[in-house]
Structure 1
Amino acid sequence: MSTWCLIQNLFLQFRERDELVRIFRFWVQSCTPEGSGSVSITRAWDARVRQHLGTRYDARRGCFDWDLAMKLHHRGGGVISRQQYLAWRETGLAFQMREGIYQTTNTTLLSTRILTHRGDKVAVPGYWGDIVSSPYLCFGVETPDQSLLQTKNGVHVKTAQEVSLANVQALVQSLSSRGRQEAEETLAHTSTPGLLLPSRVSVTFLPLDSLSRLPDQKFFSHFFHCVYLSASLAHLLGSPLQRICAPGAVLLVELARFLLDLSADQERGFKETVVGGAKAAGFDPWTPSDPDPAHAIFTLTPDP
């Protein structure tokens, strides 16, 4: 069985390649005994929580419970259990797959942010990701296996962690078999037991301003058939998308449904901005029979 995974960085500038190398080295050094104390994820997480809650920090458990019961559960995250969500909001530990002490930092979650200190700009390493919505939203609230979403007496039988595990396993097996039911055969041919090796997969690193530069590359002219934009990148909706998307391409834009700090009016305003930006870029709204309230879907109308 031939297997290859190609990582390309041909479109990166030298300073961007150097930054990638610096990040990878930072991750490696943080795993060594000498560098394990350079960044304390516990202190970094607590500092973020204190900054976010302000004077409400001493009543943080009540704030966490309110966000879950009055926001997440009402927006489609009912399978997220109270115990797991509160533990994640308190410590940053979301998935506990075994009984034991989780004391090794996941350094891939650490990054550097430029902050202003006494008039000078300094690079501060730490955790700068989500501390409110939870990582359970990625794979833990929806599944084609409805048995994982069953409830008894109004309480979900399975947790978001169990749903996430099932979805990720199915995704990796599908990737390994390239959409065919060959996961078991793939496992039998791998040199490392239990390791799923995706075949014929390439990963291309793009520069930060890639969306404005890709239309200048002939290779990417009307190249993409599916484009996904997160809520934080919705401001990139514009004419460059039309130039790099193939006729009939599908555009998915994440809405602000799970941005818990936004009001209902702000959420509606965000959706209107997304729809307006997509239409201005040449995309038409598409409403499926079972619409997803967390995403807006558009299609690029082919030129007549």
Structure 2
Amino acid sequence: MWWGYSPALDLRLEWEQYKHKNYKNLKELNILLVGAADGRHILKTLAQTYRHEKTQRINFYVYEASLDLVARQVMLLTIALEPPEKLGLQEKTRLFLELYGNSLVRPTTANFIARKSAQFVHMVTDLDFQVGRMPLLRLDQLKYRERDHLENVFKFWQEARTKFPISLYWDKRLRKHLVTRYDSRIGVFDWDYHMRLRPFGAEAITSREYKNWRNSGVAFTWLETESTEPNLTLATGAFQVGDRLCHHGYLGDIVTGPFIAYSLDCEDKDMVRLVNGVQSQRTSDVAERNLIRMMHELVYQQPFVPPRLTDETSQGLVIKEATDTENWKAEPAYDLPESGDCDRKTEIDRKRKAISVKEKYSAIPTQSAQVTFLPISALTEFPKKDKFKDFFHVITLAQNMTQFLTEDLTRMACDGGLLVVESKLFLLELRKENLIESAKNLNCTAEACHCIPAREYDPLKDPVAMFTVRKIQDHE
């Protein structure tokens, strides 16, 4: 639910490979993402804009069946577009990965969630402020009740740190899922990894990290960090009852994991090199390298050159004498008490006031792109509007959204448009025969909607299937 099951794609690059001859000088590229869940395609497409010769405006339209996923994408996109003077490259990357795939986060990350949630409340209630703070996003297409729901989600993130014992929820989910196999769960996790995940193209995911995530919900770790606070962005269905904020617990994935989007491959091949059949780098390191590259390209619009070990760093830990320490003074975080004996209620009020101040700066500029979040009724209402007839050049469908692959959907695609459908390859509950049967059903459905394969699709190897939309008149 919280992440996709296919690697991040540069959708403009995919369009360039399969585009119809009538769209060579296209000025705007319209992309519809149905159930992508985590904004990974948006990030990679924006990051690699400079790699394309022609300047082309890209309009992303995002449809999610759950507003919790909209809230998560607002958070992740905001982090990715934080100016470098506000958030350093490595800290931004690790913060992103923590919120993306960890059930527990660092206390500093929990503070960041609370602080940013206050800004998001301002954004959904004041669209003028939202345009100034995050000009990439458009929330005005959401209905009022949907924006009210988003406001409740952000308020929950801001205030409910002690009301979401995710470790307890995770353990309950495990017990319900495994039943009598719970006591031997590590063996179950090992079987799933070696017999299902790794043989189907996930060699870059290490056994230890996968089993650790299955057992605790913590996917990405670093030696110098300690995760102790719940990741409130993984709470499902936050809602308000009177003056209380409630939720439905954790209802996300506990089988596959958040590794697929950023950890299966890397442009730096030394990061995914196998030594004696074992991955030479951790999955966390591969994901971090991929995301650092994206974050760097987003800011500077130029290639990322990975750091090389110097003679000094290759010698291991080097201790140096600190200089100019007399004039250095630590700045207290906004949520630290001003004094040890302050009144508790006064302190809470001070914290809320501190994090409710509107941020005055704007995100990294992305003038050539726009991300519009669509209302939940969009896929039933938009096909009836003339504006959206033959409108989208690229449409992506998540593996759990294939029920929307109908003639209504392809009616919104242009002739020769690209349809990208996420496969069920990394759903570990499915066996080979299930994957083959699922691929047959997908091909039949696509053919009924006037879509032809853009390339050969192997359900046992390919995480996505690609089709080209052909309008009825082409067949007549």
Taking structure 2 as the reference length, what is the TM-score of the superposition?
Answer: 0.54
| 1:25 equivalent in alignment to 2:155 | yes
Report the Cα distance in structure 2 between the residues aligned to 1:63 and 1:289, rounded to whole angstroms.
30
Report the Cα distance in structure 1 between the residues aligned to 2:149 and 2:265, rounded to whole angstroms.
36
Label 1:266 to 1:139 Cα distance change in 2 as closer, same or farther (>3 A). Answer: same
- Measured after TM superposition, the shift of residue 256 of structure 1 is 1.1
Report the Cα distance in structure 2 between the residues aligned to 1:173 and 1:213, rounded to whole angstroms.
39
Report the Cα distance in structure 1 between the residues aligned to 2:133 and 2:248, rounded to whole angstroms.
36
Given that residues 251 and 298 in structure 1 are in contact (C-alpha distance below 8 angstroms), is that contact kept between their aligned partners in structure 2?
yes
| 1:151 equivalent in alignment to 2:274 | yes
Among residues 292, 298, 302, which one is paired with 1:181 in the alignment? 302
Label 1:68 to 1:276 Cα distance change in 2 as closer, same or farther (>3 A). Answer: same
Report the Cα distance in structure 1 between the residues aligned to 2:178 and 2:458, rounded to whole angstroms.
37
Q: Which structure 2 residues correspond to residues 1-304 of structure 1 after superposition, within 5 A?
A: 5-30=135-160, 36-112=161-237, 124-177=247-300, 180-181=301-302, 197-200=364-367, 201-287=369-455, 293-301=462-470, 303-304=473-474
> Which residue identity does 2:366 align to in structure 1?
S
Label 1:183 to 1:268 Cα distance change in 2 as closer, same or farther (>3 A). Answer: closer
Report the Cα distance in structure 2 between the residues aligned to 1:248 and 1:152, rounded to whole angstroms.
44
Deviations 1:214-272 (A, max 9, x none): 22333322222111111111111001222211221111111111100112222111111
Deviations 1:135-158 (A, max 9, x none): 111110122332222111111111
**Paired positions, count:** 280
Deviations 1:4-42 (A, max 9, x none): 624323332222222111111111112xxxxx2211010
- Measured after TM superposition, the shift of residue 63 of structure 1 is 0.5
Pick 1 or 2: higher relative contact order, CA cutoff 8 A, min separation 6.
Answer: 2
- Measured after TM superposition, the shift of residue 182 of structure 1 is 7.3
Report the Cα distance in structure 1 between the residues aligned to 2:457 and 2:430, rounded to whole angstroms.
27
Label 1:288 to 1:92 Cα distance change in 2 as closer, same or farther (>3 A). Answer: same
Report the Cα distance in structure 1 between the residues aligned to 2:152 and 2:401, rounded to whole angstroms.
25
Report the Cα distance in structure 2 between the residues aligned to 1:145 and 1:225, rounded to whole angstroms.
31
- 2:421 match: secondary structure: strand
Report the Cα distance in structure 2 between the residues aligned to 1:4 and 1:43, rounded to whole angstroms.
35
Label 1:4 to 1:271 Cα distance change in 2 as closer, same or farther (>3 A). Answer: same
Report the Cα distance in structure 2 between the residues aligned to 1:175 and 1:101, rounded to whole angstroms.
28
- Measured after TM superposition, the shift of residue 289 of structure 1 is 10
Label 1:21 to 1:282 Cα distance change in 2 as closer, same or farther (>3 A). Answer: same
Report the Cα distance in structure 2 between the residues aligned to 1:182 and 1:78, rounded to whole angstroms.
26
- 2:237 match: secondary structure: strand
- 2:228 match: secondary structure: coil
> Which residue identity does 2:382 align to in structure 1?
L
> Which residue identity does 2:302 align to in structure 1?
Q
Deviations 1:122-174 (A, max 9, x none): x8521111111111111101223322221111111112211111111222333
Given that residues 262 and 290 in structure 2 are in contact (C-alpha distance below 8 angstroms), is that contact kept between their aligned partners in structure 1?
yes
Given that residues 273 and 279 in structure 2 are in contact (C-alpha distance below 8 angstroms), is that contact kept between their aligned partners in structure 1?
yes
- Measured after TM superposition, the shift of residue 196 of structure 1 is 7.7
Cα RMSD of the aligned pairs, angstroms, is: 2.9
Gaps of 5+ in 1: 31-35, 115-122, 185-194
> Which residue identity does 1:13 align to in structure 2?
K
Given that residues 164 and 232 in structure 2 are in contact (C-alpha distance below 8 angstroms), is that contact kept between their aligned partners in structure 1?
no
Given that residues 152 and 238 in structure 2 are in contact (C-alpha distance below 8 angstroms), is that contact kept between their aligned partners in structure 1?
no
Given that residues 215 and 240 in structure 1 are in contact (C-alpha distance below 8 angstroms), is that contact kept between their aligned partners in structure 2?
yes
Report the Cα distance in structure 2 between the residues aligned to 1:202 and 1:183, rounded to whole angstroms.
24
> Which residue identity does 1:170 align to in structure 2?
R
Report the Cα distance in structure 2 between the residues aligned to 1:77 and 1:198, rounded to whole angstroms.
35
Indicate the percent of aligned positions where both proteins have the same amino acid. 32
Q: Which residue of 1 aligns with 2:73?
A: none
Taking structure 1 as the reference length, what is the TM-score of the superposition?
Answer: 0.83
Report the Cα distance in structure 1 between the residues aligned to 2:436 and 2:374, rounded to whole angstroms.
32
Report the Cα distance in structure 2 between the residues aligned to 1:198 and 1:95, rounded to whole angstroms.
29
Report the Cα distance in structure 2 between the residues aligned to 1:183 and 1:5, rounded to whole angstroms.
25
> Which residue identity does 1:155 align to in structure 2?
V
Given that residues 61 and 86 in structure 1 are in contact (C-alpha distance below 8 angstroms), is that contact kept between their aligned partners in structure 2?
yes
- Measured after TM superposition, the shift of residue 46 of structure 1 is 0.8
- Measured after TM superposition, the shift of residue 74 of structure 1 is 0.6
Report the Cα distance in structure 2 between the residues aligned to 1:280 and 1:84, rounded to whole angstroms.
42
